[in-house]
Amino acid sequence: MTLLSIPTWMIHIASVTEWIIAIWLVWTYAEVSKRNYWKVLSFAMLPSLASAACACIWHFFDNLPSLDWLVTIQATLTLLGNSTLCLAGRHIFRHSTSQSIAKPNTELSKLS
Protein backbone atom coordinates (compact mmCIF):
# COMPACT_ATOMS: atom_id res chain seq x y z
CA MET A 1 0.00 0.00 0.00
CA THR A 2 2.95 2.30 -0.58
CA LEU A 3 2.36 3.48 -4.14
CA LEU A 4 -0.35 6.01 -3.33
CA SER A 5 0.02 8.89 -0.92
CA ILE A 6 -2.31 9.37 2.04
CA PRO A 7 -4.16 12.28 0.36
CA THR A 8 -4.68 10.14 -2.76
CA TRP A 9 -6.09 7.32 -0.62
CA MET A 10 -8.36 9.82 1.08
CA ILE A 11 -9.71 10.89 -2.31
CA HIS A 12 -10.22 7.27 -3.40
CA ILE A 13 -12.07 6.36 -0.22
CA ALA A 14 -14.11 9.57 -0.25
CA SER A 15 -15.14 8.97 -3.87
CA VAL A 16 -16.33 5.44 -3.16
CA THR A 17 -18.13 6.61 -0.02
CA GLU A 18 -19.89 9.46 -1.78
CA TRP A 19 -20.92 7.12 -4.60
CA ILE A 20 -22.53 4.81 -2.01
CA ILE A 21 -24.28 7.80 -0.44
CA ALA A 22 -25.47 8.99 -3.86
CA ILE A 23 -26.98 5.57 -4.61
CA TRP A 24 -28.77 5.65 -1.26
CA LEU A 25 -29.99 9.24 -1.83
CA VAL A 26 -31.40 8.41 -5.27
CA TRP A 27 -33.20 5.39 -3.82
CA THR A 28 -34.56 7.52 -0.96
CA TYR A 29 -35.71 10.20 -3.41
CA ALA A 30 -37.60 7.56 -5.39
CA GLU A 31 -39.29 6.31 -2.21
CA VAL A 32 -40.20 9.75 -0.84
CA SER A 33 -41.37 11.23 -4.14
CA LYS A 34 -43.26 8.06 -5.13
CA ARG A 35 -41.36 8.15 -8.43
CA ASN A 36 -40.17 4.55 -8.38
CA TYR A 37 -38.76 4.85 -11.89
CA TRP A 38 -35.80 6.67 -10.27
CA LYS A 39 -34.76 3.42 -8.57
CA VAL A 40 -33.41 2.31 -11.94
CA LEU A 41 -30.70 4.95 -11.52
CA SER A 42 -29.62 3.39 -8.21
CA PHE A 43 -29.13 0.03 -9.91
CA ALA A 44 -27.43 1.68 -12.89
CA MET A 45 -24.84 3.22 -10.55
CA LEU A 46 -23.69 -0.16 -9.21
CA PRO A 47 -21.29 -1.10 -12.07
CA SER A 48 -19.45 2.20 -11.57
CA LEU A 49 -19.20 1.51 -7.86
CA ALA A 50 -17.80 -1.96 -8.59
CA SER A 51 -15.34 -0.37 -11.02
CA ALA A 52 -14.10 1.96 -8.29
CA ALA A 53 -13.76 -0.98 -5.91
CA CYS A 54 -11.59 -2.81 -8.46
CA ALA A 55 -9.31 0.22 -8.76
CA CYS A 56 -9.00 0.53 -4.97
CA ILE A 57 -8.25 -3.18 -4.56
CA TRP A 58 -5.57 -3.04 -7.27
CA HIS A 59 -3.92 -0.02 -5.64
CA PHE A 60 -4.21 -1.58 -2.18
CA PHE A 61 -2.03 -4.45 -3.36
CA ASP A 62 0.56 -2.07 -4.83
CA ASN A 63 -0.53 -2.63 -8.44
CA LEU A 64 0.73 -6.21 -8.46
CA PRO A 65 1.30 -7.52 -11.98
CA SER A 66 -0.56 -10.69 -10.99
CA LEU A 67 -3.65 -8.53 -10.48
CA ASP A 68 -3.51 -6.83 -13.89
CA TRP A 69 -6.75 -8.60 -14.75
CA LEU A 70 -8.46 -6.22 -12.29
CA VAL A 71 -7.60 -3.34 -14.60
CA THR A 72 -9.43 -5.08 -17.44
CA ILE A 73 -12.44 -5.76 -15.23
CA GLN A 74 -12.37 -2.16 -14.00
CA ALA A 75 -12.35 -0.83 -17.56
CA THR A 76 -15.18 -3.17 -18.53
CA LEU A 77 -17.23 -2.12 -15.51
CA THR A 78 -16.61 1.54 -16.34
CA LEU A 79 -17.96 0.99 -19.86
CA LEU A 80 -20.91 -0.96 -18.49
CA GLY A 81 -21.54 1.68 -15.82
CA ASN A 82 -21.50 4.53 -18.33
CA SER A 83 -23.92 2.59 -20.53
CA THR A 84 -26.31 1.75 -17.70
CA LEU A 85 -26.26 5.35 -16.48
CA CYS A 86 -27.12 6.54 -19.97
CA LEU A 87 -29.98 4.04 -20.21
CA ALA A 88 -31.23 5.00 -16.74
CA GLY A 89 -31.24 8.66 -17.76
CA ARG A 90 -33.28 7.77 -20.82
CA HIS A 91 -35.67 5.73 -18.67
CA ILE A 92 -36.14 8.60 -16.20
CA PHE A 93 -36.63 11.10 -19.01
CA ARG A 94 -39.28 8.96 -20.70
CA HIS A 95 -41.19 8.38 -17.48
CA SER A 96 -41.00 11.98 -16.33
CA THR A 97 -42.16 13.38 -19.67
CA SER A 98 -45.00 10.87 -19.96
CA GLN A 99 -46.18 11.81 -16.46
CA SER A 100 -46.00 15.53 -17.18
CA ILE A 101 -48.07 15.01 -20.32
CA ALA A 102 -50.59 12.90 -18.41
CA LYS A 103 -50.84 15.42 -15.54
CA PRO A 104 -50.85 19.01 -16.80
CA ASN A 105 -49.50 21.59 -14.39
CA THR A 106 -52.49 22.86 -12.44
CA GLU A 107 -50.67 26.02 -11.35
CA LEU A 108 -50.23 27.14 -14.94
CA SER A 109 -53.85 26.39 -15.81
CA LYS A 110 -54.99 28.58 -12.88
CA LEU A 111 -53.08 31.54 -14.32
CA SER A 112 -54.87 31.53 -17.65
pLDDT in tens, 12-28: 999 999 999 999 999 99
Specify the pLDDT at position 44: 98
Q: Residue 9 burial by CB count (10 A; 0-12/13-18/19+): exposed, middle or buried?
A: middle
Each residue's pLDDT tens digit, 56-99 = 999 999 889 999 999 999 999 999 999 999 999 999 999 998 87
Rama region for 63: left / alpha / beta (φ>0; ψ in -120 to 50; rest): left
Domain boundaries, the chain: 6-111
